[in-house]
Structure 1
Protein backbone atom coordinates (compact mmCIF):
# COMPACT_ATOMS: atom_id res chain seq x y z
CA UNK A 1 0.00 0.00 0.00
CA UNK A 2 2.87 2.40 0.81
CA UNK A 3 4.26 1.88 -2.71
CA UNK A 4 0.91 2.78 -4.25
CA UNK A 5 0.74 6.03 -2.27
CA UNK A 6 4.26 6.95 -3.40
CA UNK A 7 3.29 6.21 -7.01
CA UNK A 8 0.19 8.40 -6.71
CA UNK A 9 2.24 11.31 -5.35
CA UNK A 10 4.76 10.83 -8.17
CA UNK A 11 1.99 11.09 -10.76
CA UNK A 12 0.82 14.38 -9.26
CA UNK A 13 4.28 15.94 -9.43
CA UNK A 14 5.04 14.68 -12.92
CA UNK A 15 1.98 16.36 -14.45
CA UNK A 16 2.56 20.08 -15.20
CA UNK A 17 0.71 22.53 -13.01
CA UNK A 18 -0.92 24.22 -16.05
CA UNK A 19 -2.51 21.00 -17.28
CA UNK A 20 -6.01 21.29 -18.63
CA UNK A 21 -9.13 19.93 -16.99
CA UNK A 22 -8.91 16.73 -18.98
CA UNK A 23 -5.46 16.10 -17.50
CA UNK A 24 -6.92 16.62 -14.03
CA UNK A 25 -9.58 14.09 -14.91
CA UNK A 26 -6.90 11.63 -15.97
CA UNK A 27 -5.12 12.11 -12.63
CA UNK A 28 -8.33 11.49 -10.72
CA UNK A 29 -9.02 8.35 -12.78
CA UNK A 30 -5.49 7.06 -12.20
CA UNK A 31 -5.75 7.76 -8.48
CA UNK A 32 -9.06 5.94 -8.31
CA UNK A 33 -7.56 2.95 -10.07
CA UNK A 34 -4.61 2.87 -7.70
CA UNK A 35 -6.87 3.08 -4.67
CA UNK A 36 -9.04 0.25 -6.02
CA UNK A 37 -5.95 -1.90 -6.56
CA UNK A 38 -4.71 -1.01 -3.10
CA UNK A 39 -8.01 -1.88 -1.45
CA UNK A 40 -8.05 -5.23 -3.28
CA UNK A 41 -4.52 -6.05 -2.09
CA UNK A 42 -5.42 -4.99 1.44
CA UNK A 43 -8.59 -7.12 1.37
CA UNK A 44 -6.68 -10.23 0.27
CA UNK A 45 -4.04 -9.65 2.95
CA UNK A 46 -6.73 -9.16 5.59
CA UNK A 47 -8.49 -12.37 4.55
CA UNK A 48 -5.17 -14.24 4.59
CA UNK A 49 -4.51 -13.12 8.15
CA UNK A 50 -8.09 -13.94 9.16
CA UNK A 51 -7.86 -17.41 7.59
CA UNK A 52 -4.49 -18.19 9.21
CA UNK A 53 -5.76 -17.07 12.62
CA UNK A 54 -8.92 -19.20 12.37
CA UNK A 55 -6.96 -22.23 11.10
CA UNK A 56 -4.53 -21.86 14.01
CA UNK A 57 -7.44 -21.66 16.47
CA UNK A 58 -9.03 -24.76 14.91
CA UNK A 59 -5.76 -26.69 15.16
CA UNK A 60 -5.19 -25.64 18.78
CA UNK A 61 -8.74 -26.64 19.70
CA UNK A 62 -8.76 -30.01 17.95
CA UNK A 63 -5.14 -30.99 18.62
CA UNK A 64 -4.47 -29.66 22.14
CA UNK A 65 -1.28 -31.69 22.57
CA UNK A 66 0.43 -29.90 19.69
CA UNK A 67 2.50 -27.14 21.26
CA UNK A 68 5.26 -26.52 18.70
CA UNK A 69 4.19 -26.04 15.10
CA UNK A 70 4.24 -23.63 12.17
CA UNK A 71 1.21 -22.78 10.02
CA UNK A 72 1.11 -20.99 6.69
CA UNK A 73 -1.52 -20.70 3.99
CA UNK A 74 -0.89 -22.16 0.53
CA UNK A 75 -3.58 -20.15 -1.24
CA UNK A 76 -3.47 -16.37 -0.95
CA UNK A 77 -0.06 -15.29 -2.23
CA UNK A 78 -0.23 -13.67 -5.68
CA UNK A 79 -3.99 -14.09 -6.04
CA UNK A 80 -6.63 -11.45 -6.66
CA UNK A 81 -9.77 -10.93 -4.62
CA UNK A 82 -12.02 -12.44 -7.30
CA UNK A 83 -9.78 -15.53 -7.46
CA UNK A 84 -10.04 -16.05 -3.71
CA UNK A 85 -13.82 -15.52 -3.75
CA UNK A 86 -14.24 -18.23 -6.40
CA UNK A 87 -12.06 -20.84 -4.72
CA UNK A 88 -13.63 -23.96 -3.24
CA UNK A 89 -10.84 -24.93 -0.85
CA UNK A 90 -8.23 -23.10 1.20
CA UNK A 91 -5.24 -25.09 2.38
CA UNK A 92 -2.54 -24.60 4.99
CA UNK A 93 0.90 -26.10 5.52
CA UNK A 94 1.44 -27.23 9.11
CA UNK A 95 4.71 -28.62 10.39
CA UNK A 96 5.80 -29.77 13.82
CA UNK A 97 9.19 -28.70 15.13
CA UNK A 98 11.36 -29.04 18.21
CA UNK A 99 14.04 -26.79 19.69
CA UNK A 100 17.51 -28.36 19.61
CA UNK A 101 20.50 -26.31 20.73
CA UNK A 102 18.34 -23.16 20.56
CA UNK A 103 17.44 -23.86 16.91
CA UNK A 104 14.21 -25.24 15.40
CA UNK A 105 14.40 -28.82 14.14
CA UNK A 106 11.58 -29.53 11.67
CA UNK A 107 9.34 -32.57 12.08
CA UNK A 108 6.15 -34.11 10.71
CA UNK A 109 4.17 -32.30 8.01
CA UNK A 110 0.43 -31.87 7.61
CA UNK A 111 -1.97 -30.09 5.29
CA UNK A 112 -5.16 -28.61 6.65
CA UNK A 113 -7.97 -28.27 4.10
CA UNK A 114 -10.79 -25.80 4.59
CA UNK A 115 -13.54 -26.82 2.18
CA UNK A 116 -15.75 -23.84 1.40
CA UNK A 117 -19.35 -23.50 0.24
CA UNK A 118 -21.38 -20.79 -1.49
CA UNK A 119 -21.26 -17.43 0.29
CA UNK A 120 -18.13 -18.16 2.30
CA UNK A 121 -16.83 -14.66 1.51
CA UNK A 122 -19.10 -11.66 2.02
CA UNK A 123 -18.78 -7.93 2.72
CA UNK A 124 -17.55 -8.70 6.25
CA UNK A 125 -14.77 -11.06 5.18
CA UNK A 126 -14.76 -14.86 5.58
CA UNK A 127 -17.75 -16.67 7.06
CA UNK A 128 -16.09 -19.68 8.68
CA UNK A 129 -19.44 -21.29 9.43
CA UNK A 130 -19.32 -22.25 5.73
CA UNK A 131 -15.92 -23.96 5.98
CA UNK A 132 -15.38 -27.68 6.72
CA UNK A 133 -11.93 -28.54 8.12
CA UNK A 134 -10.00 -31.75 7.35
CA UNK A 135 -6.40 -32.41 8.45
CA UNK A 136 -4.22 -34.94 6.63
CA UNK A 137 -0.60 -36.12 6.90
CA UNK A 138 1.75 -37.48 4.27
CA UNK A 139 0.46 -41.05 4.59
CA UNK A 140 -3.14 -40.00 4.03
CA UNK A 141 -2.14 -37.78 1.10
CA UNK A 142 -0.36 -40.77 -0.45
CA UNK A 143 -3.53 -42.85 -0.05
CA UNK A 144 -5.62 -40.07 -1.62
CA UNK A 145 -3.26 -39.58 -4.56
CA UNK A 146 -3.00 -43.32 -5.17
CA UNK A 147 -6.78 -43.61 -5.39
CA UNK A 148 -6.98 -40.51 -7.60
CA UNK A 149 -4.14 -41.66 -9.91
CA UNK A 150 -5.72 -45.09 -10.23
CA UNK A 151 -8.98 -43.68 -11.57
CA UNK A 152 -7.15 -41.04 -13.65
CA UNK A 153 -4.89 -43.51 -15.49
CA UNK A 154 -4.76 -46.98 -16.99
CA UNK A 155 -2.47 -48.20 -14.20
CA UNK A 156 -4.33 -50.38 -11.67
CA UNK A 157 -1.38 -51.72 -9.67
CA UNK A 158 -1.35 -49.61 -6.50
CA UNK A 159 2.24 -50.51 -5.61
CA UNK A 160 3.48 -49.19 -8.96
CA UNK A 161 1.48 -45.98 -8.44
CA UNK A 162 2.80 -45.50 -4.90
CA UNK A 163 6.39 -46.00 -6.02
CA UNK A 164 5.94 -43.48 -8.84
CA UNK A 165 4.34 -40.96 -6.48
CA UNK A 166 7.08 -41.37 -3.87
CA UNK A 167 10.07 -41.21 -6.19
CA UNK A 168 8.75 -39.11 -9.07
CA UNK A 169 6.96 -35.86 -9.75
CA UNK A 170 3.28 -35.07 -10.21
CA UNK A 171 2.84 -33.00 -13.36
CA UNK A 172 -0.11 -31.69 -15.34
CA UNK A 173 -0.50 -34.85 -17.42
CA UNK A 174 0.35 -37.51 -14.86
CA UNK A 175 3.32 -38.76 -12.82
CA UNK A 176 6.88 -38.54 -14.08
CA UNK A 177 8.70 -41.40 -12.39
CA UNK A 178 12.31 -42.49 -12.38
CA UNK A 179 13.63 -45.19 -14.76
CA UNK A 180 11.02 -44.27 -17.34
CA UNK A 181 8.09 -45.73 -15.38
CA UNK A 182 5.84 -42.75 -16.05
CA UNK A 183 2.10 -42.91 -15.43
CA UNK A 184 0.07 -40.89 -17.90
CA UNK A 185 -3.38 -39.61 -17.04
CA UNK A 186 -6.24 -40.04 -19.49
CA UNK A 187 -6.81 -37.25 -21.99
CA UNK A 188 -10.50 -36.46 -21.58
CA UNK A 189 -12.70 -33.49 -22.34
CA UNK A 190 -13.40 -30.74 -19.82
CA UNK A 191 -16.98 -31.94 -19.33
CA UNK A 192 -15.99 -35.58 -18.67
CA UNK A 193 -15.54 -37.02 -15.18
CA UNK A 194 -14.13 -40.28 -13.83
CA UNK A 195 -15.31 -41.13 -10.31
CA UNK A 196 -14.04 -43.43 -7.54
CA UNK A 197 -15.51 -44.02 -4.08
CA UNK A 198 -12.68 -43.22 -1.65
CA UNK A 199 -14.23 -43.34 1.81
CA UNK A 200 -17.56 -43.06 3.65
CA UNK A 201 -17.07 -39.29 3.49
CA UNK A 202 -15.63 -38.64 0.02
CA UNK A 203 -15.60 -39.53 -3.65
CA UNK A 204 -12.72 -38.50 -5.90
CA UNK A 205 -13.32 -37.18 -9.40
CA UNK A 206 -10.74 -37.00 -12.17
CA UNK A 207 -11.25 -34.17 -14.62
CA UNK A 208 -8.45 -33.02 -16.92
CA UNK A 209 -8.30 -29.64 -15.18
CA UNK A 210 -8.56 -30.54 -11.49
CA UNK A 211 -8.65 -33.02 -8.61
CA UNK A 212 -12.29 -33.18 -7.56
CA UNK A 213 -13.41 -34.12 -4.04
CA UNK A 214 -17.11 -34.78 -3.57
CA UNK A 215 -18.19 -34.41 0.07
CA UNK A 216 -21.06 -36.81 0.63
CA UNK A 217 -22.47 -35.10 3.71
CA UNK A 218 -22.85 -31.65 2.13
CA UNK A 219 -23.14 -32.89 -1.48
CA UNK A 220 -20.51 -30.32 -2.53
CA UNK A 221 -17.98 -30.91 -5.30
CA UNK A 222 -14.66 -29.30 -4.35
CA UNK A 223 -12.03 -28.75 -7.02
CA UNK A 224 -8.32 -28.58 -6.26
CA UNK A 225 -6.47 -27.06 -9.21
CA UNK A 226 -3.63 -29.04 -10.74
CA UNK A 227 -1.09 -26.41 -9.68
CA UNK A 228 -2.19 -26.62 -6.03
CA UNK A 229 -2.16 -30.44 -6.20
CA UNK A 230 1.44 -30.38 -7.46
CA UNK A 231 2.46 -27.90 -4.74
CA UNK A 232 0.94 -30.02 -1.96
CA UNK A 233 2.63 -33.17 -3.23
CA UNK A 234 6.01 -31.43 -3.42
CA UNK A 235 5.51 -30.10 0.11
CA UNK A 236 5.06 -33.64 1.46
CA UNK A 237 7.68 -35.50 -0.57
CA UNK A 238 10.36 -33.08 -1.76
CA UNK A 239 13.23 -32.69 0.66
Structure 2
Protein backbone atom coordinates (compact mmCIF):
# COMPACT_ATOMS: atom_id res chain seq x y z
CA UNK A 1 0.00 0.00 0.00
CA UNK A 2 1.51 3.34 -1.02
CA UNK A 3 0.56 6.96 -0.37
CA UNK A 4 1.53 10.01 -2.43
CA UNK A 5 2.23 13.04 -0.26
CA UNK A 6 2.56 16.57 -1.71
CA UNK A 7 3.19 19.66 0.41
CA UNK A 8 5.44 22.65 0.99
CA UNK A 9 8.47 22.38 3.28
CA UNK A 10 9.59 25.60 4.95
CA UNK A 11 13.13 25.76 6.31
CA UNK A 12 14.39 27.85 9.22
CA UNK A 13 16.07 30.20 6.75
CA UNK A 14 12.62 31.16 5.43
CA UNK A 15 13.19 29.38 2.15
CA UNK A 16 10.67 26.81 0.95
CA UNK A 17 10.45 23.96 -1.52
CA UNK A 18 7.67 21.82 -2.96
CA UNK A 19 7.89 18.14 -2.05
CA UNK A 20 6.16 15.20 -3.68
CA UNK A 21 7.00 11.84 -2.12
CA UNK A 22 5.36 8.44 -2.21
CA UNK A 23 5.56 6.31 0.95
CA UNK A 24 4.98 2.58 1.01
CA UNK A 25 3.76 0.52 3.97
CA UNK A 26 5.89 -2.60 4.08
CA UNK A 27 3.94 -5.85 4.32
CA UNK A 28 6.55 -8.42 3.20
CA UNK A 29 8.47 -7.94 6.46
CA UNK A 30 7.53 -6.79 9.93
CA UNK A 31 9.47 -4.00 11.56
CA UNK A 32 9.59 -2.89 15.15
CA UNK A 33 10.43 0.54 16.47
CA UNK A 34 12.84 1.71 19.14
CA UNK A 35 10.58 1.91 22.20
CA UNK A 36 13.12 4.08 24.04
CA UNK A 37 12.16 6.98 21.77
CA UNK A 38 9.15 9.07 22.77
CA UNK A 39 6.84 9.53 19.77
CA UNK A 40 5.19 12.81 18.75
CA UNK A 41 1.46 13.42 18.83
CA UNK A 42 0.18 14.47 15.38
CA UNK A 43 -3.16 15.23 13.80
CA UNK A 44 -2.88 12.75 10.95
CA UNK A 45 -0.76 10.36 8.93
CA UNK A 46 -0.12 13.19 6.47
CA UNK A 47 1.40 15.35 9.18
CA UNK A 48 3.71 12.50 10.21
CA UNK A 49 4.81 12.00 6.60
CA UNK A 50 5.37 15.73 6.26
CA UNK A 51 7.63 15.75 9.31
CA UNK A 52 9.74 12.99 7.77
CA UNK A 53 10.12 14.57 4.34
CA UNK A 54 11.04 17.96 5.81
CA UNK A 55 13.64 16.36 8.10
CA UNK A 56 17.12 15.93 6.68
CA UNK A 57 17.87 12.32 5.66
CA UNK A 58 14.56 10.93 6.90
CA UNK A 59 13.39 8.11 4.61
CA UNK A 60 11.05 6.17 6.90
CA UNK A 61 8.83 6.48 9.94
CA UNK A 62 6.42 4.63 12.22
CA UNK A 63 2.82 5.78 12.58
CA UNK A 64 0.25 4.67 15.15
CA UNK A 65 -3.14 4.89 13.46
CA UNK A 66 -5.09 4.36 16.68
CA UNK A 67 -3.47 7.08 18.78
CA UNK A 68 -2.19 9.41 16.01
CA UNK A 69 1.43 9.07 17.13
CA UNK A 70 4.48 9.59 14.93
CA UNK A 71 8.03 8.31 15.40
CA UNK A 72 10.84 9.45 13.13
CA UNK A 73 13.91 8.79 15.24
CA UNK A 74 15.45 5.77 16.90
CA UNK A 75 16.63 2.45 15.60
CA UNK A 76 14.65 0.15 13.30
CA UNK A 77 14.59 -3.63 13.67
CA UNK A 78 13.38 -6.55 11.58
CA UNK A 79 10.78 -8.59 13.45
CA UNK A 80 9.63 -12.12 12.75
CA UNK A 81 6.72 -11.96 15.19
CA UNK A 82 3.26 -11.44 13.73
CA UNK A 83 2.61 -7.75 14.28
CA UNK A 84 -0.51 -7.48 12.10
CA UNK A 85 -2.53 -6.32 15.10
CA UNK A 86 0.11 -3.83 16.25
CA UNK A 87 -1.19 -0.26 15.77
CA UNK A 88 2.34 0.87 14.85
CA UNK A 89 2.97 0.55 11.11
CA UNK A 90 6.23 1.15 9.29
CA UNK A 91 6.41 3.38 6.20
CA UNK A 92 9.33 3.93 3.87
CA UNK A 93 9.90 6.00 0.75
CA UNK A 94 8.56 4.08 -2.23
CA UNK A 95 11.72 3.85 -4.31
CA UNK A 96 13.09 1.07 -6.50
CA UNK A 97 15.58 -1.44 -5.11
CA UNK A 98 18.02 -1.89 -7.99
CA UNK A 99 20.23 -4.33 -6.05
CA UNK A 100 17.67 -7.16 -5.97
CA UNK A 101 19.10 -10.38 -7.42
CA UNK A 102 22.21 -8.62 -8.70
CA UNK A 103 25.73 -10.09 -8.63
CA UNK A 104 27.68 -9.67 -5.38
CA UNK A 105 31.39 -10.05 -4.60
CA UNK A 106 32.97 -10.38 -1.14
CA UNK A 107 36.52 -9.72 -0.02
CA UNK A 108 36.43 -13.24 1.46
CA UNK A 109 33.76 -15.81 2.28
CA UNK A 110 33.21 -17.44 5.65
CA UNK A 111 32.00 -21.06 5.65
CA UNK A 112 30.68 -21.38 2.08
CA UNK A 113 28.00 -21.94 0.89
CA UNK A 114 26.12 -21.07 4.10
CA UNK A 115 27.24 -17.43 3.79
CA UNK A 116 27.16 -16.97 0.03
CA UNK A 117 27.53 -13.39 -1.29
CA UNK A 118 24.20 -13.73 -3.09
CA UNK A 119 22.29 -13.84 0.19
CA UNK A 120 22.88 -10.07 0.37
CA UNK A 121 20.69 -9.42 -2.68
CA UNK A 122 18.27 -12.37 -2.77
CA UNK A 123 15.44 -10.05 -1.65
CA UNK A 124 14.78 -12.17 1.43
CA UNK A 125 15.65 -11.94 5.12
CA UNK A 126 15.89 -15.24 6.98
CA UNK A 127 15.31 -15.83 10.67
CA UNK A 128 18.39 -17.99 11.08
CA UNK A 129 21.14 -18.63 13.62
CA UNK A 130 24.92 -18.33 13.27
CA UNK A 131 24.43 -15.78 10.50
CA UNK A 132 23.41 -18.53 8.07
CA UNK A 133 21.72 -17.26 4.90
CA UNK A 134 23.56 -13.95 5.30
CA UNK A 135 26.64 -12.82 3.38
CA UNK A 136 29.63 -13.14 5.72
CA UNK A 137 33.32 -12.35 5.21
CA UNK A 138 36.27 -13.50 7.26
CA UNK A 139 37.73 -11.19 9.89
CA UNK A 140 39.91 -8.74 7.95
CA UNK A 141 41.28 -5.25 8.39
CA UNK A 142 38.87 -3.90 5.73
CA UNK A 143 36.28 -6.48 4.67
CA UNK A 144 34.04 -5.39 1.81
CA UNK A 145 30.98 -6.32 -0.23
CA UNK A 146 30.44 -5.01 -3.77
CA UNK A 147 27.25 -5.14 -5.86
CA UNK A 148 27.13 -4.79 -9.63
CA UNK A 149 23.91 -2.88 -10.40
CA UNK A 150 24.47 -3.62 -14.14
CA UNK A 151 23.56 -0.02 -15.01
CA UNK A 152 24.53 3.40 -13.69
CA UNK A 153 22.09 4.98 -11.23
CA UNK A 154 21.78 8.01 -8.99
CA UNK A 155 21.47 6.40 -5.56
CA UNK A 156 19.33 8.01 -2.86
CA UNK A 157 20.13 5.65 0.00
CA UNK A 158 21.41 2.17 0.85
CA UNK A 159 19.74 -0.09 3.40
CA UNK A 160 21.69 -2.69 5.40
CA UNK A 161 20.02 -5.49 7.35
CA UNK A 162 22.31 -6.61 10.13
CA UNK A 163 22.79 -10.15 11.42
CA UNK A 164 19.62 -11.30 13.16
CA UNK A 165 20.65 -13.63 15.98
CA UNK A 166 23.88 -12.31 17.53
CA UNK A 167 27.07 -10.25 17.12
CA UNK A 168 25.15 -7.23 15.86
CA UNK A 169 27.79 -4.91 17.35
CA UNK A 170 30.24 -5.99 14.64
CA UNK A 171 28.50 -3.65 12.20
CA UNK A 172 30.48 -0.45 12.73
CA UNK A 173 32.74 2.01 10.89
CA UNK A 174 30.84 1.36 7.66
CA UNK A 175 31.41 3.38 4.50
CA UNK A 176 29.34 3.14 1.31
CA UNK A 177 31.05 4.03 -1.97
CA UNK A 178 30.00 4.11 -5.62
CA UNK A 179 31.98 3.86 -8.82
CA UNK A 180 31.88 2.72 -12.44
CA UNK A 181 34.72 0.20 -12.13
CA UNK A 182 34.61 -3.01 -10.12
CA UNK A 183 38.32 -2.84 -9.28
CA UNK A 184 38.71 -2.43 -5.52
CA UNK A 185 39.83 1.07 -4.73
CA UNK A 186 38.09 2.56 -7.77
CA UNK A 187 35.11 3.96 -5.89
CA UNK A 188 35.50 7.76 -6.00
CA UNK A 189 31.97 8.65 -4.87
CA UNK A 190 31.13 8.54 -1.17
CA UNK A 191 27.45 7.93 -0.45
CA UNK A 192 27.63 8.01 3.34
CA UNK A 193 28.87 6.38 6.52
CA UNK A 194 27.52 4.57 9.57
CA UNK A 195 29.51 4.74 12.81
CA UNK A 196 27.62 2.04 14.70
CA UNK A 197 27.88 -0.14 16.58
CA UNK A 198 24.85 -1.97 15.26
CA UNK A 199 22.42 -4.19 17.11
CA UNK A 200 20.97 -7.60 16.33
CA UNK A 201 18.34 -7.45 13.55
CA UNK A 202 18.89 -3.72 13.06
CA UNK A 203 17.93 -2.06 9.78
CA UNK A 204 20.31 0.78 8.85
CA UNK A 205 19.47 3.38 6.20
CA UNK A 206 22.59 5.14 4.92
CA UNK A 207 21.31 8.19 3.07
CA UNK A 208 23.73 9.67 0.57
CA UNK A 209 25.11 13.07 1.59
CA UNK A 210 24.68 14.29 -2.01
CA UNK A 211 23.60 12.70 -5.31
CA UNK A 212 25.72 9.57 -5.64
CA UNK A 213 26.11 8.10 -9.11
CA UNK A 214 27.65 4.77 -10.04
CA UNK A 215 27.21 1.24 -11.32
CA UNK A 216 29.02 -0.53 -8.49
CA UNK A 217 28.18 -0.11 -4.81
CA UNK A 218 30.86 -1.05 -2.30
CA UNK A 219 30.21 -1.43 1.43
CA UNK A 220 33.37 -1.47 3.52
CA UNK A 221 34.03 -2.03 7.22
CA UNK A 222 37.15 -0.40 8.67
CA UNK A 223 38.80 -2.32 11.53
CA UNK A 224 41.87 -0.07 11.69
CA UNK A 225 41.23 1.29 15.18
CA UNK A 226 40.13 -1.96 16.81
CA UNK A 227 42.25 -4.75 18.30
CA UNK A 228 40.02 -7.45 16.81
CA UNK A 229 39.28 -7.76 13.10
CA UNK A 230 35.54 -8.22 12.77
CA UNK A 231 33.81 -9.77 9.78
CA UNK A 232 31.27 -7.94 7.62
CA UNK A 233 27.94 -9.76 7.91
CA UNK A 234 24.93 -8.47 5.98
CA UNK A 235 21.67 -10.37 5.67
CA UNK A 236 20.27 -8.06 3.01
CA UNK A 237 21.41 -4.98 1.11
CA UNK A 238 19.02 -2.71 -0.76
CA UNK A 239 20.07 0.12 -3.06
CA UNK A 240 17.25 2.63 -3.49
CA UNK A 241 16.95 4.92 -6.50
* TM-score normalised by structure 1 residue count: 0.28
Q: Going by fraction, where is strand more abundant, 1 or 2?
A: 2
* TM-score normalised by structure 2 residue count: 0.28
Q: Going by fraction, where is helix more abundant, 1 or 2?
A: 1
Structure of higher CA gyration radius: 1
Higher RCO, 1 or 2 (CA under 8 Å, sep at least 6)?
2
